[in-house]
Amino acid sequence: MGADGAEPIGRGVTRITPRAGWPVLDVRELWDYRELLYFLVWRDIKVRYKQTVIGAAWAIIQPVFAMVIFTIFFGMLAKLPSGNLPYPLFYYSGLLPWLYFSGAFQHATNAIIDHQRLITKVYFPRLLLPLAAVVCGLVDFAVAFVILVAMMAFYGIAPAAGVLLLPIFLLLAVATALGAGLWLSVLNATYRDVRYVVPFLIQLWLFASPVVYPSSLVPEAWRWLYGLNPMAGVIEGFRWALLGQGQPPALLGVSAAVVALVLLGGVIYFSRAEETIADIV
Amino acid sequence: MSRVAIRVEGLGKRYRIGRRERYHALRDVLARAFSGSVDAGAPDLAGAPGDSLWALKGVSFELGEGDILGVVGANGAGKSTLLKILSRITGPTEGYAEVRGRVGSLLEVGSGFHPELSGRENVYLNGAILGMRKVEIASKFDEIVAFAEVERFVDMPVKHYSTGMYLRLAFAVAAHLQPDILLVDEVLAVGDVSFQRKCLGKMGDVASGGRTVILVSHNVLAIEYLCRSALLLEQGVVACRGTPRTVLEEYLGRSTAVARRVDLDSVRTRSGSGQIRLASVEIGTLEGPENSVIRSGDGFVIRLGFRCRERVVRPVFSVAIYSLSGVPIFAVHTSDASIDIRDLAHDGCIELEIARANLMPGRYWLHVAVGDEMDPHRYDHVLNAVALELEPADVYGSGKLGAAGWTVVFLDCRWRLTRESRVGSR
């Protein structure tokens, strides 16, 4: 941090006017408040594990249990195909990005209503709230990732060269959670019904993503439609990058485009609502 | 002539009444859409005039750097809305405001405090929320903790703090923000008297340090003590601007014909979850016509009308009397005295009869609330709901008011002079 890092936020003249035209995302202001993002994430993590007995182990327990259950029911009993991968590895590598996404998405959806009091009493860029929600999930993801590495070592599977692309797939998952979360956080604050819709939506989304089955199960003719679900690209990408299974997702471009649209629309929608959100919640 | 720190020009804020509902249900919107109503999802402008309320209208003023402005006005006059716009919490509907420098707003103490986190952690979190940098907080950390007098408890979760410690710490963080412009709303209404004095002192320091302050308060004394100029808002419009004394006289004068009955539905500055809402408050006489004056030493009755939105178990109503300068004088809960309400599911009215008001002549504020045993403000809490005006009376039967000017209560008492030189013997 340089000398200007200590420069207080918000010097100069601020002009407060009614909203006119398209909202412009104030990137500079967002950057000014970067430390608040850090503190919000830090608070969420700290509070989450403060009074738990096993603390951060929860981040591992959830995906591991889901993996065991999936392996037994979808793998050993239903005998769904898993490419040429061992079932536990197949499911765990899918669950990892999926659980990150579903958690971050749900957390982001509640970002505004969880901070009602704050929003009506203090000004700061509201975008930080959903942003903190999706960043926070990355910590759990990192913890659970260690298990995946251990499992790969156990099964003797070395990562393919595509592993270099892994950050891109992760970024895509973050962007998807944020984009969808931005839309739904505002809707959630305006219409409280949304709270009941989201878990249902996540459940549907799970079945529309190749977590319990490989996407090769989807008929060729419908692949393009399937690719519209960015999480399909992300999860396939994960398996490909880490385990070398299947092809690099052909529909990555489509997925990325969809995410870009959702995210851009979300930022605009959120920024428009930002000014009046304190009157609604 | 100093530079202008705040310029407000034709500022207006309109609330749609519908927007002020706690929230919409999607169902209602869908129902309206299907019934073909034009209003469904229509933009703000489409609402009929009756659907909106101007909380502020055509407000213009300038404030020089280092000025301290007190804003007064009745409930719902737009004071809080003005601060919310200046602190950018909500946007104006028309007009504009320009603020020079860093704005610190203190609309509530302890915004964003998390009960599970320690005092230390909360100082950093709250500081960041208020717009401070980490290095800045770190450099002021010891000062903040010392001001709050919580050194020994700084690593304890704040949920174990007493209310006083909690408030002191929260105020301390905000007071050390060192903004160029400080916006303060009613913060002094919380805490005990020594805490209030400390806050006043700190705010005086901030002000004398050349910072610009806008202070919204019902605390007339605080405004007179701290501010160099004042502004009276009335129904969203600037009614008067001038020295604190002239504005306060105008303010107090305007409300001389105090309403004995106040409809609380339009009050927006309230807290609570709303299962029960206090709909009206009325001060009535015990004997004689309802509108006759109430004098010092008279009895009177306070009637609270309420609306029940859902069934609540063991509600507790309370009434508190505050002096104009914000000192709590008296408070009573239904659970304290002679009445125990099992549950409530319908609208109604509850009456508190005060047999004899042992209060000196003058004006007092009534705060009213409804909650439960755990939190007496849980459902609804309206500060300064109605003014109680007590006319002078010959309370000691001597034809003189005596020390009325600077005391608040009088006790039923009698002097007796005896020949005994020893005190206490009979």
**Domains in chain B: ranges and CATH:** 4-254 (3.40.50.300), 264-405 (2.70.50.60)
* Any B CB within 8 A of A8 CB: yes
How, if at all, do strands B362-371 and B380-390 pair? Answer: antiparallel
Q: Which residues of A touch B132 (CB under 8 A)?
A: 8-9
* Any B CB within 8 A of A34 CB: no
Structure tokens at B228: 């160099």
- The answer to whether residue A189 sits within a structural domain is yes
- The answer to whether residue A103 sits within a structural domain is yes
- Name the minimum distance, in Å, from the CA of B424 to any CA of chain A: 57
Contact of B284 with B290, CB cutoff 8 Å: yes
Using CA atoms, how far apart are residues A51 and B110, in angstroms rounded to an integer? 22
Residue A24, pLDDT above cutoff 90: no
Query: Each residue of A196-215: pLDDT tens digit?
Result: 899 999 999 999 888 888 88
Rg (CA), chain A: 20
Concatenated DSSP letters for B184-237? EESGGGSS-HHHHHHHHHHHHHHHHTT-EEEEE-S-HHHHHHH-SEEEEEETTE
Question: Residue A66: which domain range?
Answer: 27-280
CA B23 to chain centre: 24
Query: Each residue of A62-101: pLDDT tens digit?
Result: 899 999 999 998 888 888 887 778 888 999 999 999 999 9
Per-residue pLDDT of chain B (426 residues; tens, 9 = 90+): 468 889 999 999 988 765 444 445 666 666 665 554 444 343 343 344 456 788 899 999 999 988 889 998 887 788 889 999 998 888 899 999 999 888 888 887 777 888 889 999 999 999 998 888 899 999 999 999 998 888 899 999 998 988 778 888 888 888 887 788 888 887 655 556 677 677 777 777 777 777 888 988 876 667 777 888 999 998 889 988 998 878 877 776 665 555 678 888 877 778 888 889 999 999 988 876 666 778 888 889 999 999 998 899 889 999 999 987 778 899 999 888 767 788 888 899 999 999 998 998 888 889 999 998 888 888 999 988 888 888 777 677 665 555 555 678 888 888 888 887 665 544
| Alpha-carbon dihedral sign for residues B198, B201, B207, B208 | negative
- State the alpha helices, DSSP H only, in A71-218: 87-109, 116-121, 128-155, 166-190, 194-207
- The answer to whether residue A5 sits within a structural domain is no
Q: Which of residues 156-185 of B touch A (CB under 8 A)?
A: 178, 180
Contact of B395 with B381, CB cutoff 8 Å: no
β-strand partners of B68: B213
- The answer to whether residue A138 sits within a structural domain is yes
Q: Which residues contact A154 (CB under 8 A, 6 or more apart)?
A: none
CB pair distance less than 8 Å for B88 and A16: yes
- The answer to whether residue A6 sits within a structural domain is no
Pairs of CB atoms within 8 A across A/B: 142
Number of domains chain A contains: 1
Structure tokens at B8: 């407000």
- Name the minimum distance, in Å, from the CA of A150 to any CA of chain B: 34
The structure's pTM equals 0.71
**HEC-encoded secondary structure of A224-272:** HHHHCCHHHHHHHHHHHHHHCCCCCCCCHHHHHHHHHHHHHHHHHHHHH
Q: Which residues of B touch A2 (CB under 8 A)?
A: none
- The answer to whether residue A3 sits within a structural domain is no
ipTM of the complex: 0.83
Using CA atoms, how far apart are residues B53 and B46, in angstroms rounded to an integer? 14
* Any A CB within 8 A of B351 CB: no
Q: Which residues of A touch B88 (CB under 8 A)?
A: 14, 16, 123
- Name the minimum distance, in Å, from the CA of A66 to any CA of chain B: 30
Q: Which residues of A touch B116 (CB under 8 A)?
A: 46-47, 50-51
- The answer to whether residue A81 sits within a structural domain is yes
